[in-house]
Amino acid sequence: MKVGIAGTGRMGAAIAARLMGLGHELTVWNRTAEKTKELAAAGAKVAASPAALAGSVDVVITILTDEKAIEALYNGPQGLLSGGVTGKLFIEMSTVRPEVEVALAAKVNLKKAAMIDCPVGGTTGPAREGKLFGFVGGEDADVARARPLLDQMCRRAEHVGPVGSGARMKLAINLPLFVYWQALGEALLLCRSLKIEPERLMSILAVTSGAANAIKTRGGAVAAHLAGKDAGPVSFAVDGVCKDLETMIAAGKALGGTLPAAETALRCFREAAGAGLGEADQSVLPARWAKRQ
Ligand SMILES: NC(=O)c1ccc[n+]([C@@H]2O[C@H](COP(=O)([O-])OP(=O)(O)OC[C@H]3O[C@@H](n4cnc5c(N)ncnc54)[C@H](OP(=O)(O)O)[C@@H]3O)[C@@H](O)[C@H]2O)c1
């Protein structure tokens, strides 16, 4: 099975590295060509356009910023759907509104191709190790076709319903995480006067009933931010968190509900982005809050 990845940003590149490590022959394309160089050096083919990529593989994986990126990459000039794609399978992994995946799948189906959505939990580390958690939406037959690849990218890939269901589930898992970062910042502010060394403080918080799972993987980064040290590479940026929170709030409104905790978290993350931290890792938020005057 020939696999193509269109969009080699942080997650796309990590997934590409994982699949190449397992021996897949991979073709890649990215709007900013620079970001395909490392993969090309490791043996990936680089397609001249999204259309050329879709024409040369059996399965196309996309993991892109947002719905505008999906529109440009699939439906733009030389887009993935601009040529013949009969019989191909698209695995769309971006975190976007469920309606975006449903509308895209309809366009893919019109071209006699199949699509599933599979947004993921886990950042670049788990992506490189094939340990993502996939939330899969699609027809049974299409999911079965994708299953061998899903199982190579994910430690667990749960089929939760028709196309769009994966997107809904993914928004649901990210909501408490982002609210948690803000809550953790407020907790750190409360114990600031104790002057406990950051790593020790995080090691205490990590094993209490108030901890979230993410503290196991990102607690060290929060401690580094608190100590003013280098927190390592960005896994998921503050701008991305804002995009996800906006998407959740829109999805909640579409259901006639409100998400006040998510709205508050969005205000706080937007403030961090406004202070020049849009490109910084999400783990910067709690440390920044704890240091507020
Ligand atoms: N990073 C994580 O930890 C993580 C975890 C789970 C899910 N996600 C989700 O995965 C998706 C990608 O995240 P990421 O962190 O990998 O982001 P990223 O590093 O910013 O990569 C975004 C990708 O989208 C492409 N793109 C954006 N706008 C485009 C456009 N108009 N036309 C064509 N391509 C466009 C970018 O191309 P350029 O390089 O040219 O800008 C890049 O390949 C997001 O939906 C995010 O919510 C991320």
Other CB atoms closer than 10 Å to residue 58's CB: what's the count? 12
Q: What DSSP string runs through 123-180?
A: -HHHHHHT-EEEEEES-HHHHHHHHHHHHHHEEEEEEEESTTHHHHHHHHHHHHHHHH
pLDDT block averages, 10 residues each, the chain of length 293 = 96 98 97 98 98 98 97 97 97 96 98 98 95 98 98 98 98 97 97 96 94 92 96 94 97 95 98 97 96 85
3-state secondary structure of 113: coil
Cα of 190 vs centre of ligand 1, distance in Å, is: 35
Does residue 201 contact residue 184 with C-beta atoms inside 8 Å? Answer: no
99: its two tokens? 């309606």
How many residues can be counted in the chain?
A: 293
Cα of 85 vs centre of ligand 1, distance in Å, is: 23
| Residue 169, pLDDT score | 98
Cα of 9 vs centre of ligand 1, distance in Å, is: 5
| Residue 292, pLDDT score | 87
Q: Is 247 in the pocket of ligand 1 (CB under 6 A)?
A: no
| Residue 236, pLDDT score | 93
Q: Name the residue with the closest Cα to ligand 1, atom 7.
A: 120
Q: Name the residue with the closest Cα to ligand 1, atom 1.
A: 236
Q: Which of 8, 11, 37, when mutated, tests ligand 1's pocket best, judged by the most ligand atoms within 8 Å of its CB?
A: 11
57: its two tokens? 């593989």
Q: Is 240 in the pocket of ligand 1 (CB under 6 A)?
A: yes
- Report the distance separating Cα 152 and Cα 127, nearest Å: 10
Q: Is 174 in the pocket of ligand 1 (CB under 6 A)?
A: no
- Any idea which residue has 């667990």 for tokens? 156
- Report the distance separating Cα 52 and Cα 73, nearest Å: 12
- Report the distance separating Cα 286 and Cα 264, nearest Å: 14
Cα of 154 vs centre of ligand 1, distance in Å, is: 18
Q: Which residues pair with 199 in a beta bridge?
A: none
pTM > 0.85: yes or no: yes
